[in-house]
Amino acid sequence: MRGPDAQTRAGAILYGCATVTGIALCLSPLAASFDRTAGFALTAGFAVLTASLVGLRGRTPAWLYPLYLGYAVLAITLANVAFAGASMPLLPYYFWCVVYAACFLRVPHVVVHLLSVAVGVGASLYLGDVGDERSVRWGMHVAALALVGAVVYRLRAEVDLLVGRLHGQATTDSLTGVGNRRSFDRALGDEIDVARTRRSPLALVIGDLDRFKVINDQHGHVVGDAVLRRVAGVLHERVCAAGAVFRVGGEEFAILLPGADEAAARTVAETVRGAVEASVANAEHVKVTVSFGVTVLPASAGSTDDVALAMYAAADQALYDAKHAGRNRVMSTGKFHAVQSKTLEPSSTT
């Protein structure tokens, strides 16, 4: 929901509306009470902020957003002071600044911004000659703005928590806690882009539990689920420092190893294979072995149309070779072949 793009769009809309409002006020009869040149200068500042946000398109440095918002508070305050009188048409515009800060800025910046708004409201009231009870009006305005900021920030926290949970459910395998097929597909594409940009190797390891159906048939699915969880835990423990682990099928797992060549990937796979055979059997009292297929994307991968499909097919073929060579072993291939299908299905080899 939030992010650099959303923050930029919201800022561009906020400052764009401020630009239009400034032009309208400078051209209105109300402008007779203040210097139009100064009004147009403040409006031009909003136009520049709007143009910069639109031009940068989400690449605006994070430290600039509080400064942009600070300019908005200053401009609103100067305009209110210039208009003077009891009307002060721009006083409600502090509200939008507070909402923006509560939606997008970090807590220290939100607090500082609220303090600057409180100063701005005070300056507007005390320098704008609005009559008696200025202290009361200042307290009411600041309290209302602070309440709005607190409510918006609280809602933001709730939304962030909900979005985080939904993202976790969408990208995490519910049984094992490792990444699911959706997150694997995205991660593989991202890592291929990075590897091709940096001209560095990328290893893909596909592992499949040997004769897992026999485990389910002889010991039940409860034990089978426990075995899957234990295997995923072993893979995560052994691989987390070097790459990422995903469950891509019923009993099939994928390991992405950025920067690893074939020898390094085989070493990781052999380590994991031995750890699974030892620790899972001890924990679940069931003999469990796993076969692995390894492939590597060379730094000179070139312009292969669908590298992700090709890598998966190569690793899957290596896994198939490991199964037919006797299982409980690691096989690798440095070559991968073009794949016509646009969908990747888990290996059916057991």
Residues 135 and 10 in one domain: yes
Q: What are phi and psi of 252, to 5 degrees?
A: -110, 135
Residues 201 and 325 in one domain: yes
Residues 164 and 229 in one domain: no
Report if residue 186 sits inside a domain: yes
Instruction: Give me the tens of pLDDT residue by residue for the chain, a chain 350 residues long.
Output: 466 688 888 889 989 998 998 888 788 776 666 677 878 888 899 999 899 888 877 677 888 889 999 999 998 888 877 766 545 566 788 999 999 999 999 999 999 999 999 999 888 888 765 566 778 888 998 999 999 999 999 999 999 999 888 888 889 999 999 999 999 999 999 999 888 888 888 999 999 999 999 999 998 999 999 999 999 999 999 998 889 999 999 999 999 999 999 999 999 999 999 999 888 766 657 889 999 999 998 655 555 557 888 899 999 999 999 999 999 999 998 554 443 333 344 444 56
Contact 214, 286 (CB under 8 A): no
CATH code at 190? 3.30.70.270
The side-by-side arrangement of strands in the sheet containing 244-247 is 244-247, 252-258, 202-209, 290-297, 330-333
Q: Look up residue 290 and give its two tokens.
A: 């796993």
> What is the residue range of 69's domain?
4-171
Residues 138 and 191 in one domain: no
Question: Could you tell me which residues are beta bridge partners of residue 291?
Answer: 208
Report if residue 234 sits inside a domain: yes
Residues 165 and 188 in one domain: no
Report if residue 52 sits inside a domain: yes
Residues 246 and 303 in one domain: yes
Q: What are phi and psi of 139, to 5 degrees?
A: -60, -40
Residues 138 and 196 in one domain: no
Looking at 171, 198, 218, the residue that finishes a domain is 171
Looking at 139, 171, 203, the residue that finishes a domain is 171
Residues 23 and 163 in one domain: yes
Residues 12 and 150 in one domain: yes
Residues 165 and 185 in one domain: no
Give the CA angle between residues 48, 50, 56 to the nearest 5°. 95
Q: How far apart are CA 221 and CA 346, in angstroms?
A: 20
Report if residue 340 sits inside a domain: no
Residues 196 and 284 in one domain: yes
Residues 161 and 202 in one domain: no
Report if residue 346 sits inside a domain: no
Report if residue 105 sits inside a domain: yes
Indicate the residue type of 31: A
Domain count, the chain: 2
The DSSP H or E segment spanning 203 is: strand 202-209
Report if residue 344 sits inside a domain: no
Report if residue 93 sits inside a domain: yes
